[in-house]
Structures are given as C-alpha cells and as structure tokens.
Structure 1
Amino acid sequence: MIKNENLSIKGKHNKPIMMDFSYVSNKTRKPIVIFCHGYKGFKDWGAWNLVAEMFAKAGFFFVKFNFSHNGGTKEQPIDFPDLEAFGNNTFIIELDDLENVLDLITASSFKHKNEVDSTKITLIGHSRGGGIATIKATEDHRVNKLITWASVCDYKNRFPKGETLKQWKEDGVMFVENGRTKQQMPHYFQFYTSFVDNENRLTIKKAVKNIKVPHLIIHGTKDPTVSVKEAKEIHSWNDKSELFLVEDANHVFGAKHPWETEILPHHLLEIVEKSMQFAIL
C-alpha cells in the first residue's frame, strides 16, 4: 500500500517549503527520487501525483516539493495566491530550497530514515527546474543521478534585452500573464540582478560540463515551449550523457492541469518508465 505524506519545512528564505513523500512502507531502504517543478509550476500540477505513485509502486521513495517562492502558500499550495513571493523569487532561492530538501532527506534524524537509502539520490527537474537540478547535481556530492524532462539549456537568454530590459529596470517590475489562471504575475528587477551577480554559478552549460554522475536528458520532439534543440545542446556538452527523445511529445508530455483520470498520458508514461529504469540501475 502506497503512503502519501505531506510536510511543510522551514525554508532559508522566510517561506515554507511544501513537500510530499510517496512510498511503500515496508522498512526497506529505497532509492530516493526528488522532483523539481518548473516555471509557474507546483508539485501537485496535472498528473505529477500519478507520477509519484508510479515511482512508489516501483520501489522508490519519491519526493516532490514546491519551491518556497513559487507563489503558493501552505493553505493554498495549488496556483498562485502569493504573487509577491513569486515576484521576489530567484534561481538562488530555488537552489537553496533544493538543498533544504536534500538536507532533510539525508539527515540522521529523518523520521523515514529506515525507508530511504540516502546513498542513492536521483534528481528529476522539469523545464526551468531542469536547470536547477543540473546545477545542484554538479554542486552536491549527495546526488548520484540526474534526469531532466524538457529542460532549458540557458537562463541568460530568457531575460529580455535592449529597450525591454531598460524598461524593466526603470519600472522595477515586469508582468507575465499566466495563460491558465489569467493572473498578471510579477517579476521584480532583482530577479535579473540576482542572476547577473551569480551568473557563473547559474550558467547551465558550465554545470553540464562538470557533471560527474549519470545524466539522462528527456525531451519531446514537438515541445513548443522549450525547443528540442536545447536538449541536443545539453547532450553535446556532456559526451557521457544519454539523450532520449520522445516523438511528437509536447512540453508536459501530454498532461494538463487539472488531470482528471487515473491513467497517465502515453508520452508521460513512456518517460516515467524510462526514468525509473535509469534511476534503478
């Protein structure tokens, strides 16, 4: 029987990190998989809960969490009631959040320590979360494997340039519409300055070249959000990486929010099976 447990931990940046665990409780130490959501994402988006259950059934201890400044709250973790937090997010905050999660899971005081094998940790990052997972896999010796789903290959080129950048600096804030919720979601200019101040650390290409663990790159060939060319770029920077392209798959591998059936879309099922096979070896 799969156990699903929710938990809130204190983050480094004055916001809680909402997380959950999915596993079969049998006092057997299991390889850990930690899932990092992407931009305008959250841990309970779409079919992610079904993904967690599949990993749990296959013998993993599956962890997913909301980045502390993703715009969700403890009371309302789905969607984005806290747009002020969203606007103040940075890549550094997300890296710190992931470190907090790793610290919890690997601590000797972790209450599920008899259910986890902290020497076997795989990070999975989707979209923007793929970059965060990649950087952390390079930095943190506790991470043993890296899997990216539809990951971006560069953060810098996603920032506005020229007059748009100048206007953002003058206004102090730039708004992006959420196509699903129709919210006007703010980005304060400190998001850009934080990147500039930490550009060396936040350059995904540099991280990929320094990866010392097995690295699986998964991408859909019909991704309209992050081009499949980005997956090929990432693969070219690490000749020991494995590239797995999913024909005709989109950015979320056929899922959507809300996801109202108990069956995964076939593209998402395909990448979950591939990811489990990679993580267990």
Structure 2
Amino acid sequence: MIQNKNFILQGASNQKFAIDIRYSDSNNSKGTIIFCHGFKGFKDWGCWQMIANYFVENGFAFLKLNFSHNGMGLDDSVEFTALDKFSTNTLNKEMEDIQSVEQFLLNEIPTILPIINTDKILIIGHSKGGVSALLYCTHYQTKIEKIATWASPFDFHRSWNSKFIDKWRTDGVQYIKNARTNQMMPLNLEVLEDMEANNEKYSLVNAGQKLQIPYLIIQGTNDAAVKMEEFNLLKKYFTKAKNHIITDANHVFGGSHPYLGAELPEHTKELVQVTKEFFL
C-alpha cells in the first residue's frame, strides 16, 4: 500500500518549505527520487502525484518539494500566496533547497522512516527544476547517483532580452504572467543582479564539463516553452548523457492542472517508463 508523509524543512534564507514523501509499506528497494518542479510550478501540480504513485508502485520512494521561494505558502497547495518570496527566487536558492532535502534524506529519514531506501538517491527536474538539479549535482558534494531532466531549458534566462532587462532596471521589478491564475508574478531587481553575478556558475556549458553522474535528457517535440534547440544544446554539452525524444509531447507531456484523468496521459506514460528504466 502507498503511504504519504508531509514535512516542513528549512531552506534558502532560512525560509521554510513543504515536502511530501510517498513510499510503499512493503518495497522501496530501488531507492528514493527527489522531484524538482519548474518555474511557476509547485509539487502538487497536475498529475505529479500520479507520477509519484507510478514510481512507488515500481519500487521507489518519491519526494516532491515546493522550493522555498516558489511563491507557495506552507498552507496552500495550489495557490501562489507568497509572491514576495517568488520575487526574490534564484537558482542559488533552489540549489540550497535541494541540499536541505538531501541532508534530510541522509540524516533524518533513516530514523523517521527506516523503511525508505536512502542508500540510493536519484533526482528528476522538470523545466527550470532541471537546471537547478543539474547545477546542484555539479556544484555540491552529493550522494545523488543519477539525474533525469524533463523538458529542461539549456539557459533558463534565455528569454531575458535587452529590452526586458532595461525596463527591469528602470522599474526595479519585472512581471511574469501566470496563464493559469492570471497573476502577474514579480521579479525584483536582485534576481537580475544575481543572474549577472553568477553567470559562470549558472552556465550549463560549464556544468557539462563537471557532471560526473549518469544523466538522461527527455524532451517533447511539441514543446512551446522549451524548443528542440535547447534539447540539442544539452546533448551537445553533456556528451555522455542518454537522451529520449517523445514525439508530439508538449512541455508538460500531456498533463494539465487540474488533471482529472483516471490514467496518466499517453506521453507521460512514456516519460515515466523511460525514466524508470534509466533509474534501475
């Protein structure tokens, strides 16, 4: 039977964030997967929970997190009520949150939930979460053994052109529209300044030379948010990575929020099966 436990951890800038762990009461022998959501994303979006169940049914434990500055309050699972935090989020902060999760798995879960196998830790990043996961695995001492990215950009900041940046500097803030909620989500000037100060650190060209663990890249051909050019750049600079293309899949592999289907979307079924085989 699938079990679920919720926890609150402390992450970047001493901010608290929510995680949940789904696991089997009989078999978690394949290891524990950390799942990192994307930009304007959250751990309870769409069919992420169904994906978690799929991996648990196949012998893994599955941990989902809300990044500490993703805009979610601790009590709100699907609404962005902490836009002040969203406005200061950076890749550095997301890496710090992943570190908090890994340390929790290594240092506390063996006592709290000894049934979970934390000897083997794996990580999945969707969209921007893929960038954060890749950077974490190249900048931190980690016991993570394999990484998979789903629809990850090669450069998260690629769309910040000179006109966008000039207005940002002038106004001190920029806004990104959330198509699902129609919220205008703010980005403070410190986010731009952080990107400029960490240009080399955030480079996936550099990360491609440093990554030491097996890596799987998955991309859909009908992704309006992350084009195939991004996938090709990941392949180019992560020369040892395995890759898989899902024909006609969009950025969320057929998912939606809310997702009301009884089964996973067809493209998502392919996504999780390929990832599972890579993690075994």
**TM-score w.r.t. structure 2 length?**
0.95
The residue that corresponds to 2:97 in the other structure is 97
Per-residue deviation, 1:28: 5.5
Is the 1:61–1:115 Cα contact (8 Å) retained in structure 2?
no
* 2: CA distance, partners of 1:143 / 1:251: 25
Is the 2:220–2:247 Cα contact (8 Å) retained in structure 1?
yes
User: Is structure 2 residue 161 aligned with structure 1 residue 160?
Assistant: yes
* 1: CA distance, partners of 2:28 / 2:270: 27
User: Is structure 2 residue 210 aligned with structure 1 residue 210?
Assistant: yes
The residue that corresponds to 2:55 in the other structure is 55
Moved more, 238-247 or 32-41: 238-247
* Fraction of identical pairs, as percent: 34
Question: SS at 1:111's partner residue?
Answer: helix
Residues 28 and 77 of structure 1: CA distance in aligned 2, closer, same or farther (over 3 Å)? closer
The residue that corresponds to 2:71 in the other structure is 71
Is the 1:173–1:186 Cα contact (8 Å) retained in structure 2?
yes
Residues 179 and 216 of structure 1: CA distance in aligned 2, closer, same or farther (over 3 Å)? same
- Aligned pairs for 1:143-222 within 5 A: 143-161=144-162, 163-222=163-222
Is the 2:31–2:61 Cα contact (8 Å) retained in structure 1?
yes
User: Is structure 2 residue 239 aligned with structure 1 residue 239?
Assistant: yes
Q: Aligned residues, how many?
A: 279
Which runs of no fewer than 5 residues in structure 2 stay unpaired?
Answer: none
* 1: CA distance, partners of 2:91 / 2:6: 24
Deviations 1:12-45 (A, max 9, x none): 3232111000110237644111000000000000
Residues 256 and 103 of structure 1: CA distance in aligned 2, closer, same or farther (over 3 Å)? same
**What amino acid sits opposite 1:145 in the alignment?**
K
Residues 12 and 225 of structure 1: CA distance in aligned 2, closer, same or farther (over 3 Å)? closer
**What amino acid sits opposite 1:179 in the alignment?**
A
Is the 1:135–1:204 Cα contact (8 Å) retained in structure 2?
yes
Question: SS at 1:13's partner residue?
Answer: helix
The residue that corresponds to 1:84 in the other structure is 84
Deviations 1:139-184 (A, max 9, x none): 33311101000001013423231x4312211211011111110011
Question: SS at 2:12's partner residue?
Answer: coil
* 1: CA distance, partners of 2:156 / 2:248: 25
Question: SS at 1:278's partner residue?
Answer: helix
Question: SS at 2:75's partner residue?
Answer: coil
Per-residue deviation, 1:113: 5.1
**What amino acid sits opposite 2:274 in the alignment?**
K
Residues 109 and 63 of structure 1: CA distance in aligned 2, closer, same or farther (over 3 Å)? closer
* 1: CA distance, partners of 2:246 / 2:270: 8
Question: SS at 1:134's partner residue?
Answer: helix
Question: SS at 2:111's partner residue?
Answer: coil
Per-residue deviation, 1:6: 1.3
* 2: CA distance, partners of 1:30 / 1:179: 37
Deviations 1:97-128 (A, max 9, x none): 11100110011564345223333211100001
Is the 1:123–1:137 Cα contact (8 Å) retained in structure 2?
no
Per-residue deviation, 1:75: 1.2
The residue that corresponds to 2:111 in the other structure is 111
Per-residue deviation, 1:253: 0.2
Which runs of no fewer than 5 residues in structure 1 stay unpaired?
Answer: none
**What amino acid sits opposite 2:47 in the alignment?**
A
Per-residue deviation, 1:240: 1.4
**What amino acid sits opposite 2:194 in the alignment?**
S
Is the 2:151–2:220 Cα contact (8 Å) retained in structure 1?
yes
Residues 109 and 222 of structure 1: CA distance in aligned 2, closer, same or farther (over 3 Å)? closer
* 2: CA distance, partners of 1:5 / 1:141: 24
Is the 1:145–1:279 Cα contact (8 Å) retained in structure 2?
yes
